[in-house]
Amino acid sequence: MFRIIAKWYAKRQYIWRQEVDAATNELNAGLSSKLSTEKRALIDQLYKEADDIDKRIEEFSKMETIGFWQCENGHEEHLSTAFAGVELEISRTCSTCEQPMKHTRRDLMTGQEQYESDKERKAAEDVADNKRAQAKAEEENADGSDKTAKYFRDLAKNNRHLADKIRKL
Ligand SMILES: [Zn+2]
């Protein structure tokens, strides 16, 4: 009689342990999945920031070629189209902060100014490159988290499978 109870108890214990392990493994899988989702959001953000920088570099290069106005507070204004091609506009006041503006055009720059401008452009390109490199590294992390999640999910499946087998004994 006692052996039957012992066997029944052992079976119950075994099934219980497998179910607890399955639940624990599923929790771990869930954590890894969440981590992966967070990393993928970060990756999207990094790529977007890099693209925005690229866009800004391109925009600025165009403005620099055509010419534009800039105040010391960094506000930028396009050339007036009223003077299309004719350089009549010789001074301008910033419409945002009322500071005097400086006209910038690449072919009117000194060698030093061109050098400085190229240096700034290069620095911005480096920031964009770094963001892409960081995104790439995070992609590997996210892939790792996905693999870990799958590993735990497989473990949980095994636990459930074992519990079912014992139940049928
Ligand atoms: Zn201004």
- Over its C-alpha atoms, the chain yields an Rg (Å, rounded) of 32
Q: In this predicted structure, what is the pLDDT of residue 85?
A: 56
Rounded distance from Cα 100 to ligand 1 centre (Å): 8
Residue with tokens 């473990």: 155
> Among candidates 10, 7, 26, 9, which has minimal Cα distance to 160?
26
Separation of CA 8 and ligand 1 centre (Å): 83
* Dihedral, CA of residue 122, residue 128, residue 129 and residue 134, to nearest 10: 150
Distance 140 CA to ligand 1 centre (A): 44
Q: For the chain, which residues make up each domain, given as ranges?
A: 2-78+91-168
Cα(68) to ligand 1 centroid in Å equals: 13
Per-residue pLDDT of the chain (169 residues; tens, 9 = 90+): 789 999 999 999 999 999 999 999 999 999 999 999 999 999 999 999 999 999 999 999 999 999 999 999 999 998 876 655 555 677 889 999 999 999 999 999 999 999 999 999 999 999 999 999 999 999 999 999 999 999 999 999 999 999 999 999 8
- Which pLDDT score, from 0 to 100, does residue 87 have? 56
Residue 144: what pLDDT?
98
Q: How far is the CA of 151 from the centre of ligand 1 (A)?
A: 57
pTM attached to this predicted model: 0.76
